[in-house]
Structure 1
Amino acid sequence: MTVEKTYVIKGEPESEWLLLDASGQSIGRLAAQIANYLLGKHKPNYTPGVKMGDFVVVINCSQLAISPKKMTTKFYYRHSGYPGGLTTTSLKEMMRTYPDRVIKSAVWGMLPHNSHGRELMKRLKLFAGNEHLHDAQNPKRVN
């Protein structure tokens, strides 16, 4: 029986700033790509459970390519904690009011639901329009 050794990175891993354009992309494929960048799975020295991913800036969240059927059949749910406190919002209404939350919800579903995932979500910066506030970090554009 052979024992495989697990690679553990030494020191603090370096993080880059990446810029993604969401215009014309589908929600799921974009969210999977963002989740991989946040987790650091695109790096050759990836180690699970280590914050070695990059900061991701997403622009044009309001210009996602969504089919008309999905706009009316997909719903987002939240509950206030009180009896009868379930609130339902359609994808169409969510894209009209908060288009960044659509991507945020999809990416959160692809990350670990623990403290590590919550730390990774802080590295995601979403903007509905073409402008973003992170020019000082010189984000590298990703196709």
Structure 2
Amino acid sequence: MPVPQLTYVDTLDYTPTARSVSLARRRAARLVAEWGRKDAAGDAALVVSELATNALLHGSLRGRLFRVRLVMSATVLRVEVSDPRGERLPHRRRGVASTSGHGLVLIDGLADRWGTEPRTVGKTVWAELELQVRAVTRACGPARSGG
């Protein structure tokens, strides 16, 4: 019998402050660990931090909230950060002398896939991390001794 696939989802809106980025980062790490993937908690926190910082710096929030959504299945962790600004992010690498865009270089190196999606109001920047599939073990009763 196949093992049912669990999907975990969390969505929370944040005010546009530097403290909110820290709160979102800590929440992501805590939730992913609670969802049974302590091994991915650090990467989740880093991706949330970079994408939330990007929304804060470039999202023209002006008092409007930004949204962080985490979706985790057995094989993929998806992080989405939505903000009210509709401008798409470039999929290009920045030079080391550039004063911005380094967070996206980090996302490009860490995530297996990432991109932007337009919304009715604003956009969502998302990143997906593939998770190592864990072997499922069955309880087979007490061990038997030979003899």
Fold conserved between structures, TM > 0.5: no
Higher strand share: 2
Structure 2-normalised TM-score? 0.30
Structure with more contact order per residue of length (Cα contacts < 8 Å, sep ≥ 6): 1
Larger Rg: 2
